[in-house]
Amino acid sequence: MTISHCDTLIHAAWVVTQDDSRRILEDAGIAVSNGFISAIGSWEELAPVWYPKRIVDLTKHLVLPGLINAHTHASMTLMRGLADDLPLMEWLTKHIFPVEQKLTPELVHLGALLACCEMTKTGTTAFCDMYLMEEHVGRAAEEAGLRARIGEVLFSFPSPAYASQDEAFDLVRSMKERFDGSNRVNTAVMPHSVYTTSPELLEKSMELAEELDIPLNIHLAETQTESQQSIEQHGLRPVPYAAERGLLSKRTLAAHAVDLTDEEIDLLAKSGTRVCHNPESNMKLASGIARVPEMQAAGIPLSLGTDGACSNNNLDMFSEMSSCALLQKVHHKDSTRVPAQQVLDMATRGGACSLDMPQTGYLAKGQAADLIALNLNTPSLMPMYNPISHLVYAAQGADVALTMVGGETLYQDGKFTRIDYPALREEIRDAAEFIKKQFEQGKMA
């Protein structure tokens, strides 16, 4: 018998691997070295041959790959609950944009740290984020230990981060350089949407993404209002317009993709464009119901996201999974639509595809040790017949007992290992006073 050494040996009651054959293991072991999985299999096989520096006892737990939130605006946690129950365009232009004009790098960083705490605590190990002064979101992700694909939001009007289009593109370049050496954070080019950007900005965004060889993210076809505006301004609906500007490709991740015709689903599928579905945001902002089964049937790679905390109003991916399945079932009046395994795939493997992070999304030898564990002793997870059913229909983020990224435990049993949460809480309370003032002034303006 050959003895091997590893950093960590996990002993778990259940492991939902999400590997190519979707293996579910009982009484299983995972050996982790240098942040990656060295072996995964039955505890009986692994325990005698792997000598670890530490053993993590998860024998009352279900282990699965960390969930991947493929579309969010992390710093918007600062504005959670500030303005609700409004139409999307009014909400965005009259309430959110005015406050955002007053944001500082410190506030963006603080909001992102709060988001990282919430995501870590509720089982998300990687997220894809678009915001202004995004470098400070990347900084927060590095501090919190989460993986992130980040991008400065690009508008055709000035933002607090840049005065002109050239400055905006310079910022994208410098962010790429800044995070090139990071083992947790990388970048993308992120034009906001077709309704906040000029044709030139869209075309140049794709040119820059190709030049830097990084992905491109955009909000696309979120509402019927967006479609009408696009027809008025460009004579085309958002998806054909994006195609004409050269925006649809394997490099592209489109958030929302709600208002789609059959031909547009075809366009997205043929171009290799990936889609992030955001059911709770779509419900809360009454944007509509994305055609998830049709997109799936067309072969569009699908992931799941919460969108920002103002339009959700949490970053809990367990809640998002449940909403995704339930919304499609009631919409189609067919309880067989979008089954649990498909939803879990979107939140794990689909997310890895959307973020271009192939080392994440499933647990297998050679993959990153990005995993989470749920406490199975909690009443709402008992009894256990089918782990996949529990993960989508019964579990909540609050059931997460451990979150690990790259073999490093970031959260366990109520405690964050990297972030001083009590101190952060105080800073958030102070920041909220400032935000409230800006909001009241914005309403009077």
Binding residues: 71, 73, 100, 192, 219, 222, 307
CB–CB of 386/376 below 8 Å?
no
Q: Single out the segment in contact with Zn ion by CB under 5 A; choices: 138-146, 192-200, 300-308, 349-357.
A: 300-308
Place of tokens 């969108």: 307
Question: Does residue 100 interact with Zn ion by CB under 5 A?
Answer: no
Q: Smallest distance from the beta carbon of 315 to Zn ion, in angstroms?
A: 12
Interface with Zn ion includes 320 (CB under 5 A)? no
What tokens appear for 236 in the block?
A: 């085309």
| Of 56 and 126, CB closest to Zn ion | 126
Q: Helices 421-444 and 105-121: crossing angle, nearest 10°?
A: 130
Ramachandran bin of 248, using left for φ above 0, alpha for ψ from -120 to 50, beta for the remaining angles: beta
In the complex, the smallest distance separating the C-beta of residue 192 from Zn ion, rounded to whole angstroms, is 9
Q: Residue 76 or residue 404: which is nearer to Zn ion going by CB?
A: 76
Both structure tokens of 261: 């015709």
Known binding residues for Zn(2+): 71, 73, 219, 307
Pairing, β 185-187 against β 36-42: unpaired
* CB contact burial 80-108 (16+ within 10 A = b; e otherwise): bebbeeeebeebbeebbeebbeebeeebb
Q: Which stretch binds Zn ion (CB under 5 A): 210-218, 234-242, 299-307, 397-405?
A: 299-307
Stretch that binds Zn ion, among 42-50, 197-205, 307-315, 435-443 (CB under 5 A): 307-315
Q: How far is the CB of 118 from Zn ion (least distance, A)?
A: 17
Q: How far is the CB of 72 from Zn ion (least distance, A)?
A: 7
Using the minimum distance from each CB to Zn ion, give the nearer residue, 100 or 307.
307
Is the Cβ–Cβ distance between 13 and 26 less than 8 Å?
A: yes
Our CB check for Zn ion shows the closer of 12 and 276 to be 276
Q: Per CB under 5 A, which of residues 191..220 are in contact with Zn ion?
A: none
Residues belonging to the binding site for substrate are 100, 192, 222, 307
Between residues 153 and 392, which has the closer beta carbon with respect to Zn ion? Answer: 153
Q: Which stretch binds Zn ion (CB under 5 A): 90-98, 148-156, 303-311, 323-331?
A: 303-311
Closer by beta carbon to Zn ion, 124 or else 367: 124
Question: 47 Cβ partners below 8 Å, 6+ apart?
Answer: 9, 11, 29
Select from 45-53, 106-114, 158-166, 301-309 the region that touches Zn ion (CB under 5 A): 301-309
Q: What's the CA angle centered on 227, arms 221 and 231, to 5 degrees?
A: 135
Considering the complex, state which of residue 226 and residue 307 has its C-beta at the smaller distance from Zn ion: 307
Separation between Cα atoms, residue 194 and residue 38, nearest integer Å:
45
For residue 222, the minimal CB distance to Zn ion (Å) is 8
69: closest CA among 139, 104, 28, 116? 116
By CB under 5 A, the count of residues binding Zn ion is 1
> Does 307 help bind Zn ion (rule: CB under 5 A)?
yes
Q: Which is nearer to Zn ion, 224 or 441 (CB)?
A: 224
Q: Which of 296, 389, 308 is nearest to 346 (CA)?
A: 296
What is the nearest approach in angstroms of Zn ion to the Cβ of residue 76?
9
**Least distance to Zn ion, CB of residue 193, Å:** 9
CA pair distance 108, 276, nearest whole angstrom: 23
Angle between helix 165-179 and 135-144 (nearest 10): 20
- Cα 130 to Cα 128: distance, rounded to the nearest angstrom: 7
With contacts defined by CB under 5 A, name the span among 59-67, 183-191, 304-312, 406-414 that binds Zn ion. Answer: 304-312
Q: Give the residue among 394, 381, 388, 283 at the shortest CA–CA distance from 328.
A: 283
Q: Looking at beta carbons, which residue is closest to Zn ion?
A: 307
Q: Shortest Cβ distance from residue 421 to Zn ion (Å)?
A: 26
The residues of the shown chain that bind Zn ion, judged by CB under 5 A, are 307
